[in-house]
């Protein structure tokens, strides 16, 4: 009889574990407390697969564990775009580029001409930048939906409106519920993030662009059809209310700085969420009382979900043999 | 030096913002042997206790907490934030910031003196973030502040001690008031310089939090603060415009 595994939670962590398990021939049930899968923090992610840029503030472990992440996503979902990341700074903050470069690797320094070739719409706007050519990005919502359909095709069962363990006999349980698991994982905390979605027909970007600023660094990720996601704040707060005027002004100011044509953009959505985080801000896969916990994805959900999925699946499958 | 009756001998205060993670913050606080940590409430609270997760981490650092009103632009915001800080951290200490310009983060000294007056009357022990302006400093003392925290340079600029003349004058003018350099320190030599000048402490945040290795930088600041204070205690020599030969010139061969 094949192993039957329950995965609790259908954010990027839960769905990735489920997909990895299905690809290993495991029978999977996903239980989601909300009315549809993928409706938590993952939905508001940037979707940047940018380990080299993240090294600016993340520990080396994050970079190491992201190896193979882009390939993993390409295996499971369409729409992974490998065009790298461009990092620029306005003239006043150009020194931030040197500082960013000193903490990261895997980039080349680019001048005005190379920036214009990479991003024609930014021609003439920035004299210097850093180009991280190996990085990639994806659309988180489409990717989560693609994981769901992969699971359904693979025979997995997805049960929504199910905050508890659904009926059934499960050989193992994987808990990837994010902050909802803090009853057990008591040292988890939430880190508030706020983002905007804009539609701007006047601007095209080929890849995520990060605009450096000493206090308000912002990234802008292009989606299909001239839609852009701008984010994201990092606030040590568990307030779940809407985006604040200050955060929105800062994000919009940065987007405007990137290109004045954004001033005519339509703001089609604002979002806030709490990123489940451990005290070192590094995701963990742990086992306690027979349950495998995947949690604390922090701002590395899409980047480290493949690593967490493999680790969790190894734990689950290793137990079987 | 005693700050409102509490001895803070080490001369190093650390801000808690902008670290890569709470864990690296905790390690930096240990490496710096910080006397005090400052914590902001304004943006984290959203008018309630939403920042509790992070605040409880800072309470667990084992170091006295000096809550601050960072991000407040008006007297009313600062006073409200101070009230909340007293409740959250069970302390009457408050590092009072009233920001006058959101780009330079310069203190609004007019709002600052007014907020300080209100809070001192309410029994708070106010640590005001101010400029090196002596008249403003006098006013802060007259409304009840017993500590002054002049800036070295704008917050986060890392420029060091922008106006050494003004800061030296401030030290000379208020020999008995605890003085802390609050902002603008970028590297440990800036901190050493402040301590050599006779300042009682320095408050560092960005320079440690945004260093490539915050923990090592925290240790470097501890060494610098200790060195600067030892130098001050040892009474440094006075600068001279002329070289001062340590052996007499008289009697030497004069080769013209």
pLDDT in the model for residue B244: 66
Query: Bridge-partner residues for A120, per DSSP?
Result: none
Nearest CA-CA distance, residue B226 and chain A, Å: 28
| pLDDT, tens digit, 9 for 90 and up, residues A122-153 | 999 999 999 999 999 999 999 999 999 999 99
Q: Is the pLDDT of residue B115 over 70?
A: yes
- Mean pLDDT score of chain A, rounded to an integer? 94
Q: What is the mean pLDDT of residues A29-40?
A: 93
Q: Does B43 touch chain A (CB under 8 A)?
A: yes
Instruction: Please write the tens of the pLDDT for every residue from A167-200.
Output: 888 999 999 999 999 999 999 999 999 999 999 9
Distances (CA, A) of A310 to A16, A61, A72, A89, A285: 9, 16, 10, 37, 10
pLDDT band at B242 (very low <50, low <70, confident <90, very high): confident
Q: Do A236 and B51 touch (CB under 8 A)?
A: yes
Partner-chain contact A236 B156, CB within 8 Å: no
B101 touches chain A (CB under 8 A): no
Block residue for tokens 């690296």:
B24
Q: Cβ of B43 and A279 within 8 Å?
A: no
CA-nearest of A245, A194, A193, A197 to A221 is A197
How do A227-231 and A218-222 pair as beta strands?
antiparallel
Q: Is the pLDDT of residue A320 over 80?
A: no
Chain A: give the shortest CA distance to residue B246, in Å. Answer: 44
What is the pLDDT at residue B47?
64
CB contact B53 to A (< 8 Å): yes
Number of other CB atoms surrounding residue B187 within 10 Å: 16
Q: Tell me whether strands A48-49 and A136-137 are parallel, antiparallel or unpaired.
A: antiparallel
Across the range A216-235, mean pLDDT stands at 93
Compute CA A119 distance to the chain's CA centroid, rounded to the nearest angstrom: 23
How much is the pLDDT for A165?
86
C-alpha distances out from residue A253 to A86, A119, A262, A273, B24, Å: 19, 20, 10, 21, 30
pLDDT band at residue A34, thresholds of 50, 70 and 90?
A: very high
Closest to A176 (Cα-Cα) out of A24, A315, A3: A315
Spatial separation of the C-alpha atoms in residues A243 and A142, rounded to whole Å: 23
Cα of A280 to nearest chain B Cα, Å: 5
Which DSSP state fits A59? -
Does the pLDDT value for residue B253 go beyond 90?
no
With beta carbons less than 8 A apart as the criterion, state whether A58 and A234 touch. Answer: no
Is the pLDDT at B256 greater than 60? The verdict is: no
Q: Are B21 and A238 a contacting pair at CB < 8 A? A: no
Lowest-pLDDT choice from A234-238, B53-57, B63-67, B233-237:
B53-57
- Contact criterion met (CB < 8 Å) for B22 and A280: yes
Helix B214-233 and helix B188-196, axial crossing angle in degrees, nearest 10:
20
- Alpha-carbon distance of A207 to A48, in angstroms, equals 9
End-to-end CA distance of chain B: 55
Interval B130-177: pLDDT, tens: 999 999 999 999 999 999 999 999 988 899 999 999 999 999 999 999
Q: Is residue B52 scored above 90 in pLDDT?
A: no
Q: Catalytic one among B95, B159, B210, B252?
A: B95
In sequence order, what are the residues at sequence separation of 6 or more whose Cβ sits closer than 8 angstroms to the Cβ of residue B89? B39, B55, B59, B65, B67
Q: Which residues contact A137 (CB under 8 A, 6 or more apart)?
A: A46, A47, A48, A49, A50, A80, A81, A83, A85, A207, A208, A221
List Cβ neighbours of B230 (8 Å cut-off, separation of 6 or more).
Answer: none
- State the helix-helix crossing angle for B22-32 and B214-233, rounded to 10 degrees: 20
Q: What is the CA radius of gyration of chain A?
A: 20
**A79-114 tens-digit pLDDT:** 999 999 999 998 888 889 999 999 999 999 999 999
Instruction: Please say if the pLDDT value at position B181 is more than 60.
Output: yes
Cis ω before A232 (30° cut-off from 0)? yes
Q: Which residues pair with B179 in a beta bridge?
A: B148
Region B30-55: mean pLDDT is 83
Residue B57, chain A, CB below 8 Å: the answer is yes
Q: What was the pLDDT predicted at B102?
A: 81
Catalytic residue status for B95: yes
pLDDT confidence band for B255 (50 / 70 / 90) = low
pLDDT for the residue numbered B56: 84
Q: What share of chain B is helix, strand, coil (3-state, %, to 5)?
A: 40, 15, 45
Is B72 strand, coil or helix? coil
The secondary structure of A232-291, three-state, reads CCCECCCCCCCCCHHHHHHHHHHHHHHCHHHHHCEEEEEEEEEEEECCCCCCEEEEECCE
pLDDT tops 60 at residue B25:
yes
Is the CB of A236 less than 8 angstroms away from the CB of B53? yes
The predicted pLDDT at position B240 comes to 79
Residues of chain B contacting residue A246, judged by C-beta atoms under 8 Å apart = 43
Distances (CA, A) of A180 to A33, A37, A175, A188, A276: 9, 15, 10, 10, 9
* B24: nearest CA partner in chain A: A280
Query: In terms of residues, how long is chain A?
Result: 321
Interchain contact B88–A (C-beta under 8 A): no
Which stretches of chain A sit within 8 Å of chain B by CB?
Answer: 57-59, 99, 102-103, 189-190, 192, 214-215, 235-239, 241, 244, 246, 277, 279-282
Task: Read off the pTM.
Answer: 0.86
Q: Which residue has the higher pLDDT, B53 or B113?
A: B113
Instruction: Give contacts of B54 with chain A, Cβ < 8 Å.
Output: 189, 236-237
CB contact under 8 Å between A239 and B20, yes or no, is no
Local structure of B187: helix, strand or coil = coil
Residues 167-206 of B with CB under 8 A from A: none
The predicted structure's pLDDT at residue A309: 98
Dihedral sign (CA A47, A52, A58, A64)? positive
Q: Which residue has the higher pLDDT, B239 or A146?
A: A146
pLDDT for A321 equals: 43
Tens digit of each residue's pLDDT (9 = 90 or more) over A8-19: 999 999 999 999
Which of A209-223, B180-194, B211-225 shows the lowest mean pLDDT across its residues?
A: A209-223
**Residues β-bridged to residue B200:** none
Closest by CA to B153, choosing from B141, B165, B163, is: B163
- SS3 assignment, position B149: strand
Contacts of B57 in chain A (CB under 8 A): 189, 279
CB-based contact B44 A190, cutoff 8 Å: no
Q: Would you state the pLDDT for residue B246?
A: 65
């Amino acid at each position: 009889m094949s192993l039957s595994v329950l995965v609790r939670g259908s954010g990027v962590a839960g769905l990735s574990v489920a997909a990895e398990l299905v690809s290993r021939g495991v029978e999977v049930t996903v239980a989601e407390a909300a009315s549809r899968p993928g409706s938590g923090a993952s939905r508001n992610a940037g979707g940047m697969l940018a380990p080299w840029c993240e090294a600016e503030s993340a520990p080396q472990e994050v970079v190491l564990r992201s190896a193979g992440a882009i390939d993993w996503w390409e295996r499971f979902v369409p729409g992974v775009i490998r065009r790298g990341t461009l990092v620029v700074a306005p003239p006043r903050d150009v020194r931030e580029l040197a500082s960013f470069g000193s903490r990261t690797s895997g980039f080349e320094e680019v001048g005005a001409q190379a920036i214009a070739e990479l991003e024609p719409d930014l021609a003439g706007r920035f004299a210097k930048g850093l180009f991280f050519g190996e990085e990639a990005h994806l659309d988180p919502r489409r990717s989560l939906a693609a994981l769901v359909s992969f699971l359904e095709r693979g025979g997995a069962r997805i049960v929504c409106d199910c905050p508890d363990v659904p009926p059934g006999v499960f050989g193992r349980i994987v808990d990837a519920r994010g902050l909802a698991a803090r009853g057990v994982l008591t040292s988890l905390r939430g880190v508030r993030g706020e983002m905007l979605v804009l539609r701007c027909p006047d601007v095209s970007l080929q890849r995520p662009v990060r605009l450096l600023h000493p206090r308000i660094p912002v990234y802008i990720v292009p989606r299909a059809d001239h839609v852009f996601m701008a984010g994201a704040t990092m606030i040590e707060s568990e307030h779940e209310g809407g985006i604040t005027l200050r955060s929105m002004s800062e994000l919009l100011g940065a987007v405007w700085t990137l290109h004045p044509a954004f001033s005519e953009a339509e703001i089609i959505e604002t979002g806030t969420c709490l990123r489940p985080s451990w005290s070192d801000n590094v995701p963990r896969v742990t086992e306690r009382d027979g349950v495998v916990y995947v949690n604390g994805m922090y701002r590395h959900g899409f980047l480290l979900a493949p690593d967490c999925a493999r680790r969790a699946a190894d734990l689950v499958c290793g137990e079987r043999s | 030096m005693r700050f409102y009756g509490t001895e803070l001998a080490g001369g190093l205060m650390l801000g808690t913002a902008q670290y890569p993670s709470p864990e690296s913050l905790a390690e930096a606080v240990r490496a710096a042997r910080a006397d005090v940590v400052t914590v902001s409430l304004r943006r984290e609270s959203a008018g309630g206790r939403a920042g509790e997760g992070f605040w409880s981490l800072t309470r667990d650092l084992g170091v006295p907490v000096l809550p601050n009103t960072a991000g407040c632009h008006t007297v009313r915001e600062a006073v409200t934030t101070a009230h909340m800080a007293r409740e959250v951290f069970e302390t009457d200490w408050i590092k009072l910031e009233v920001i006058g310009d959101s780009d330079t983060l310069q203190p609004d000294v007019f709002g600052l003196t007014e907020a300080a007056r209100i809070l001192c009357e309410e029994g708070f022990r106010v640590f005001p973030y101010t400029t090196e302006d002596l008249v403003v400093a006098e006013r802060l003392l007259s409304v009840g502040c017993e500590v002054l925290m002049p800036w070295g340079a704008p917050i986060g600029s890392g420029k060091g001690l922008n106006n050494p003349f003004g800061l030296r004058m401030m030290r000379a003018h208020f020999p008995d008031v605890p003085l802390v350099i609050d902002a603008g320190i970028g590297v440990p030599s800036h901190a050493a310089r402040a301590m050599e000048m006779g300042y009682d402490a320095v408050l560092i945040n960005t320079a440690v939090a945004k260093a490539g290795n915050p923990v090592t930088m925290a240790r470097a600041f501890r060494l610098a603060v200790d060195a600067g204070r030892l130098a001050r205690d040892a009474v440094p020599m006075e600068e001279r415009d002329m070289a001062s030969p340590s052996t007499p010139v008289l009697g030497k061969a004069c080769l013209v």
